[in-house]
């Protein structure tokens, strides 16, 4: 993780915004040695907590004994109706040496080349997530850079979803953006009984191929099995979509997909049990 003074500054807790819990400072949760910001969508184009066809509620994120819990459930934001809510958190920066107070938010840090790990669990299995639900772990830069082929510097470590297609035998994907480009989406099938997964992305920097891995089970970078259950190495012809460091952050979300009025039959839940980054120096 690295600082970048050229990136646009956004206050983490604008006036009138909602905190994930009563004890939250600047809308931050603390997990795995990092601050996770819960107000990413607040005031985006003056739409409040509503964008992409659905409501996003910061209170759907919490830290439990198990880890960083993400829920998709019905909730009511101040002044709004009871409705289904999605959730997204953004890695703001490291906790060590980076204090957080109500009047002095911690310094923002951004994702750079390195090896990233996200371990996650869901109560039943990832195959049983709602047809209209997506669990995502990815890098993303809010302000597009139109001078590069991947303008939001987005790399999707995983998107677990059938995207509303009940006849799709696959249930997840690794993705380079833009996803519309041929071969930038690599679909996979997580086995029906798998409730624990570990994701690893090995990103060497601008113009280099990227490795994506998915393991069954919960691991650290030091305990990974010798072989992944699913893996994908991007093709050399795709390297123009492999970004360098900029203003991208790590995002984790659980949201309704496609973004329309089709709701899940029950609450959805994914808990991040571990996050690690081993930066390239």
Paired residues of 269 in beta bridges:
71
Is-above-0.85 flag for pTM? yes
Q: Does domain 28-90+112-279 have CATH number 2.60.120.200?
A: yes
Q: What percent of the chain has pLDDT over 90?
A: 73
Q: What are the structure tokens assigned to 110, written together?
A: 């951004």
Mean pLDDT, residues 89-115 = 94
Rounded CA separation 170/212 (Å):
17
pLDDT, residue 46, reads 61
pLDDT, residue 43, reads 67
- By three-state DSSP, how is residue 189 classified? coil
Given pLDDT bands bounded at 50, 70 and 90, which one contains residue 1? confident
Break the chain into its structural domains and give their ranges. 28-90+112-279
Taking alpha carbons only, the member of 141, 135, 160 closest to residue 230 is 160
- With contact defined as beta carbons under 8 Å apart, do 17 and 39 qualify? yes
Q: Where are the beta strands (DSSP E) in the chain?
A: 28-31, 34-37, 50-51, 54-56, 61-63, 68-76, 82-94, 114-121, 133-140, 155-160, 172-176, 185-188, 196-203, 210-216, 230-233, 249-256, 268-279
Q: How many residues are present in the chain?
A: 281
Q: What percent of the chain has pLDDT over 70?
A: 97
Spatial neighbors of 275 by CB under 8 A, at least 6 apart, are: 31, 32, 34, 68, 91, 117, 118, 119, 250
Mean pLDDT, residues 118-132 = 94
Q: What is the CA radius of gyration of the chain?
A: 18
Mean pLDDT, residues 172-190 = 95
Mean pLDDT, residues 20-49 = 86
- By three-state DSSP, how is residue 39 classified? coil
Spatial neighbors of 29 by CB under 8 A, at least 6 apart, are: 20, 35, 36, 38, 61, 62, 63, 68, 89
Mean pLDDT, residues 186-192 = 97
Q: What are the structure tokens assigned to 252, written together?
A: 């984790």
Does pLDDT of 260 surpass 80? no
pLDDT, residue 164, reads 83
* pLDDT tens digits, 54-74: 889 999 999 999 999 999 999
Does pLDDT of 141 surpass 70? yes
Rounded CA separation 136/163 (Å):
12
């Amino acid at each position: 993780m690295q600082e970048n003074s050229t990136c646009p500054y956004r206050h983490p807790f604008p006036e009138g915004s909602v905190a994930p819990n009563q004890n939250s400072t600047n809308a931050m949760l603390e997990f795995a040695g990092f601050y996770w910001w819960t107000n990413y969508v607040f005031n985006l184009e003056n739409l409040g907590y509503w964008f992409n066809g659905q409501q996003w509620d910061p209170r759907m994120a919490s830290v439990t004994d198990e880890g960083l819990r993400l829920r998709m459930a019905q909730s009511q934001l101040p002044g709004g109706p009871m409705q289904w809510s999605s959730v997204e958190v953004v890695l703001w920066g490291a906790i060590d040496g980076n204090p957080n107070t109500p009047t002095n938010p911690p310094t923002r840090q951004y994702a750079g080349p390195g090896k990233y790990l996200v371990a996650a669990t869901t109560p039943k299995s990832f195959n049983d997530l709602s047809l209209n639900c997506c669990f995502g772990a990815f890098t993303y830069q809010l302000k597009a850079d139109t001078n590069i082929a991947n303008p939001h510097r987005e790399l999707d470590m995983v998107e677990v979803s059938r995207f509303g297609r009940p006849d799709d035998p696959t249930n997840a994907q690794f993705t380079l953006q833009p996803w519309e480009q041929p071969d930038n989406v690599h679909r996979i099938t997580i086995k029906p009984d798998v409730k624990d997964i570990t994701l690893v992305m090995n990103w060497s920097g601008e113009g280099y191929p990227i490795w994506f891995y998915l393991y069954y089970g919960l691991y650290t970078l030091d305990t990974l099995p010798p072989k992944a259950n699913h893996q994908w190495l991007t093709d050399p012809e795709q390297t123009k979509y492999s970004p360098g460091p900029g203003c991208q952050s790590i995002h984790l979300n659980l949201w309704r997909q496609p973004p329309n009025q089709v709701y899940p039959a029950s609450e959805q839940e994914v808990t991040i049990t571990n996050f690690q980054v081993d930066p390239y120096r």
